[in-house]
A and B are shown apart, each in its own frame.
Chain A
Amino acid sequence: MTETSANGSTTRRRLLAAVGSAGVIGMAGCTQSGGGDGDGDGGDGLSGTIDIAGSSTVFPVATAMAERFESEHSGVDINIQSTGSGGGFANHFCPGRTDFNNASRPIQSEEEETCSGNGVTPVELTVATDALTVVVNNEADWVDCMTTDELARLWSAEDPPTMWSEVNADWPDQELELYGPTDASGTYDYFIESILGEEGPGHRQDYSATEQDRTIIQGVEGSEGAIGYLGFAYYSQNTDRVKAVGIDDGDGCVEPSLGTARTGEYTPLSRPLFTYPKQGSLSEDHVAEFARFWLENSTSEEIIADEVGYVPLSDDAQSEAMERLETAIENAQG
């Protein structure tokens, strides 16, 4: 009995050993090493989220930059929301909910006060130049150029004209149909500032207001007596659907184009575009790196001009913005 059991136990031991070793070899194919949290998907170690809100005019620039930045740093998540410059400052940036706010005009002093009240310090960076374009219907052969005074007369809230002929006797008795951005838009503010004057009669309100530049193009395309204004980017993608009007600021007619805007000839309807990083967020490496990346590419014809349709920064403007950014990063990280 004892003998057999001893025999049995040796064979059993051998069997166990054999099965065990086979099992270990087999198991090796079924396991992976654990314990890691798997955070290392950033490749170069940059990771985190960046929240961006603000102007719909700067939005295409921001997405173009974010797309390229993401392809290099997959660990960084960038969210971009189009809220309008003012909406972005008031609802997102100054309450501290976003890291960047895009703006198609400089930040206003009240906005700066709100921001600093919440401990948010905006850093102003110029990222491109936008040319605002006045468009009319392709059939409107009576107008290729207008003076800023005529433009102001067309859009003024004081005694608003209903016929083209009321503004200029050479123009026909065609009924006016006006399309423009809503008063929430930076483009609207900019138009008032540059054409109507801050102290002037104000912007007429009996026009078709929309946040969508596309709707402006559609409206102007569909009616012979229509006139509208919008950012150059959207016009440049639809040059065959509507006609851009040259602007005479007293020195002769200047057609809106990338070239005339960059040289500053196309006044007063070209303007700088901004993004405002929060200084506090720049202390984080991925935010600072994205801001640098953006400025480095802000002279790129390919991205800014060809893809988005704005005017790229000149080298001087870029290095000035870069300096400002580096100072802010030092302040934030130091």
Chain B
Amino acid sequence: MATESREREGFGHVSRTVGVVFRYLLLAATLFGIVALTVLLIYVANDAIQPLTADPGWHLTFFVTLVVPTVAVGGYLLRTDPASFKFGGGVVGALAVSTMFAGGAAMIFVDIVQPVTWFGYVLALAVALAGVVAMERFDRQLPFLVRSVVAGAVAVLSLWLVPGLVRSLPVYPTDGLLLTASLGTPVALLVGRYAAAAAGKRGTALAVLGGVALVGVGSYAGPLIGVDPVPATVLLSVAVLPTGGYAVGTVRRHTERRPGLAFAGVILGGAVVGAVAVDALGFTGPQSWVDWGFLTSAHSGTAADAGLYPAIGGSILLMVTVAALSFPLGVGAAVYLEEYAPDNRFTRFIGINISNLAGVPSVVYGLLGLGVFVTYLGQPTGTVLIGGATLALLILPIVIISAREALRSVPDEMRQASYGIGATRWQTIKNVVLPRAFPGILTGTILALGRAIGETAPLIMIGAPNVLFSLPTEFSSKVSAMPLQVYAWASLFASDPFYRAAVPAGVVVLLVVLLSMNSIAIVLRNKYQNDQ
């Protein structure tokens, strides 16, 4: 006893004040950025959407039909059944994000790629794929060289011949049916397998057929409710079908999560009921600048008529180009550096330089693009291809670094086990490492694309036009992008109406796109971590 108390005395008094102060200073530092950003976002969103201009009855109606039931059902589920709550929220979120993507895709099919052209290329790919599969079935003993040459020849021939052949037909199916076959069917094949869960071959086939039928019928039903066949088909294939498939598949796998569907139904139903109710009661909504006209019209000298359509389309095309260029290059480099390259001074030097390149200011990449593509290669300025290539260079280091991170997180034991059962290095990478690292790679790539979509400086450097009035239709068309259009409004049309209407609306659209891309990345990452 005595010794114990003496020891206690030995500690003396330690002041906790410093620790407490330090802790709250850190809290303040954390909150500072978040609060500042929130204030800015609320400010911009308020300018763009102007929620206060709506009829009080409008707010009340939606409060009653949407907010109250959502909070009640959601709160109850969150306490009793968190898994269902998450599932229901996931369904609604998936529908919202995929609807946005469907909007972008519909834009492409309405204005850029004719459905028949798309159909031709999909058919060509299918033919090539069928050829390769048939060859594999026919003879597995063919040497690698022969196989790759034949496969390459089939692919090139089919891509070269089939699209032209399809286009030259005197009569072909309607756009809706073409898209049902070339967009709805591949999606249905993917989704149907998930939705059918363990229902066997017959069930899967039925699910796929059901999906295709839904899209096909939709292409005829759409015009009845005022949606053109092409957007209707795209919306069903890209938004409704995957969300439905996700909902059905998950419920079939985890029956206990069924209440989540009710939760999703309450939210969606509440929104629809609210919309119908305010229409019937004659309550006017907010005088939002982000409206259908803003999303579908081009720039105008009067701020109220100005729209973002060509810039949205330009951003989509740029992202497609950037993804197509940076993903294979970046992942390829990462796989080489992680899996093949020896660890020596040279590869470490490369690694350090890639990290440095990731921090190089974007203006420098713009200059690089201008110098290499425009001055040296003599390409025209400001085209989709040049813009996409420059942005791809910009995010390439980020893609490489994040892909390396993902590859490094695959446990070495898995590689050793694979070697242990006699797999070659190529088989190990193909069958073990890449599938395991893929969600991580995808997350990194999406976040990098999110950076590219917000870039302005490189596009200015390569001479992208400040204003254009129609969507770019080919890779050699001039391109604008959302941040560039917002910048043009803020700088070249510096007047109050533009500051109050067009600029905040553009910022809100840009942020919504960016946040939904990031949300996809976050969902992928969480899923990946859970699986681990």
Question: For the complex, what is the distance from the CA of A70 to the CA of B175, rounded to whole Å?
Answer: 27
- From known contacts A33-B171, A97-B381, A213-B494, infer whether A80 and B463 are also in contact, taking CB-CB under 8 Å: no
User: At the interface with chain B, which of A60-68, A157-165, A173-181?
Assistant: A60-68
User: At the interface with chain B, which of A7-15, A71-79, A135-143, A194-202?
Assistant: A71-79
- Shortest CB-to-CB span from B228 to chain A, Å, is 14
Whether, in the assembled complex, B526 has its beta carbon less than 8 Å from a beta carbon of chain A, the answer is no
Contact B381 A92 (CB under 8 A): yes
Contact A81 B464 (CB under 8 A): yes
Contacts of A82 in B (CB 8 A): 466, 488, 492
- From known contacts A35-B169, A56-B492, A63-B299, infer whether A70 and B470 are also in contact, taking CB-CB under 8 Å: yes
Contacts of A211 in B (CB 8 A): 491
Whether, in the assembled complex, A212 has its beta carbon less than 8 Å from a beta carbon of chain B, the answer is yes
Contact flags B450-462 to A (C-beta < 8 A → 1, else 0): 0000000000000
Contact B494 A33 (CB under 8 A): no
Contact A237 B495 (CB under 8 A): yes
Question: For the complex, what is the distance from the CA of A66 to the CA of B114, rounded to whole Å?
Answer: 26
Whether, in the assembled complex, B95 has its beta carbon less than 8 Å from a beta carbon of chain A, the answer is no
Contact B467 A63 (CB under 8 A): yes
Question: For the complex, what is the distance from the CA of A68 to the CA of B190, rounded to whole Å?
Answer: 46
- Shortest CB-to-CB span from A33 to chain B, Å, is 6
Question: For the complex, what is the distance from the CA of A35 to the CA of B177, rounded to whole Å?
Answer: 17
Within 8 A of A (CB), among B297-328: 298-302
- From known contacts A81-B464, A234-B494, A307-B301, infer whether A35 and B168 are also in contact, taking CB-CB under 8 Å: yes
Whether, in the assembled complex, B468 has its beta carbon less than 8 Å from a beta carbon of chain A, the answer is yes
Whether, in the assembled complex, A214 has its beta carbon less than 8 Å from a beta carbon of chain B, the answer is yes
Question: For the complex, what is the distance from the CA of A91 to the CA of B367, rounded to whole Å?
Answer: 14
Interface centre among A29, A35, A80, A92 (most CB of B within 10 A): A80
Contact A74 B470 (CB under 8 A): yes
Whether, in the assembled complex, B444 has its beta carbon less than 8 Å from a beta carbon of chain A, the answer is no
Whether, in the assembled complex, A34 has its beta carbon less than 8 Å from a beta carbon of chain B, the answer is yes
Contact A78 B466 (CB under 8 A): no
- From known contacts A60-B492, A92-B463, A212-B491, infer whether A32 and B173 are also in contact, taking CB-CB under 8 Å: yes
Within 8 A of B (CB), among A186-235: 211-214, 217, 234
Whether, in the assembled complex, A51 has its beta carbon less than 8 Å from a beta carbon of chain B, the answer is yes
Within 8 A of B (CB), among A1-57: 29-35, 38, 49, 51, 53, 56
Whether, in the assembled complex, A294 has its beta carbon less than 8 Å from a beta carbon of chain B, the answer is no
- Shortest CB-to-CB span from A227 to chain B, Å, is 19
Contact flags B203-230 to A (C-beta < 8 A → 1, else 0): 0000000000000000000000000000
- Shortest CB-to-CB span from B477 to chain A, Å, is 7
Question: For the complex, what is the distance from the CA of A79 to the CA of B470, rounded to whole Å?
Answer: 9
Contact A30 B464 (CB under 8 A): no
Contact flags B150-189 to A (C-beta < 8 A → 1, else 0): 0000000000000000011111111101000000000000
Contacts of A212 in B (CB 8 A): 491, 494
Contact B463 A81 (CB under 8 A): yes
The interface on chain B, measured as residues whose beta carbon lies within 8 A of the other chain's beta carbons, has a size of 38
Whether, in the assembled complex, A59 has its beta carbon less than 8 Å from a beta carbon of chain B, the answer is yes
Contact B465 A31 (CB under 8 A): no
Whether, in the assembled complex, B116 has its beta carbon less than 8 Å from a beta carbon of chain A, the answer is yes
Contact B381 A77 (CB under 8 A): no
- Shortest CB-to-CB span from A267 to chain B, Å, is 27
Within 8 A of A (CB), among B96-147: 114, 116
Tell which of A32, A56, A213 touches B172, judged by Cβ atoms closer than 8 Å: A32
Question: For the complex, what is the distance from the CA of A213 to the CA of B382, rounded to whole Å?
Answer: 24
- Shortest CB-to-CB span from B102 to chain A, Å, is 23
- Shortest CB-to-CB span from A289 to chain B, Å, is 15
- Shortest CB-to-CB span from A315 to chain B, Å, is 24
- Shortest CB-to-CB span from B495 to chain A, Å, is 4
Interface centre among B114, B168, B380, B381 (most CB of A within 10 A): B381
Contact flags B493-522 to A (C-beta < 8 A → 1, else 0): 111100000000000000000000000000
Contact B173 A80 (CB under 8 A): no
Contact A32 B175 (CB under 8 A): yes
- From known contacts A60-B301, A66-B469, A74-B470, infer whether A81 and B495 are also in contact, taking CB-CB under 8 Å: no
Question: For the complex, what is the distance from the CA of A238 to the CA of B470, rounded to whole Å?
Answer: 31
Contacts of A214 in B (CB 8 A): 490-491, 494
- Shortest CB-to-CB span from A47 to chain B, Å, is 11
Please list 15 pairs of residues, one from A and one from B, whose beta carbons are closer than 8 Å in the complex, sorted by A's number.
Answer: A30-B173, A32-B173, A34-B171, A34-B172, A59-B492, A67-B300, A70-B298, A77-B470, A77-B477, A80-B465, A81-B466, A97-B380, A211-B491, A238-B495, A308-B301
Starting from the known contacts A31-B174, A34-B170, A80-B467, 7 additional A-B residue pairs (CB-CB under 8 Å) come to A51-B478, A66-B467, A78-B468, A81-B464, A92-B381, A217-B494, A237-B496
Among all A-B residue pairs, the 8 with the closest Cβ atoms: A214-B494, A79-B465, A79-B478, A70-B469, A237-B495, A81-B465, A79-B468, A34-B172
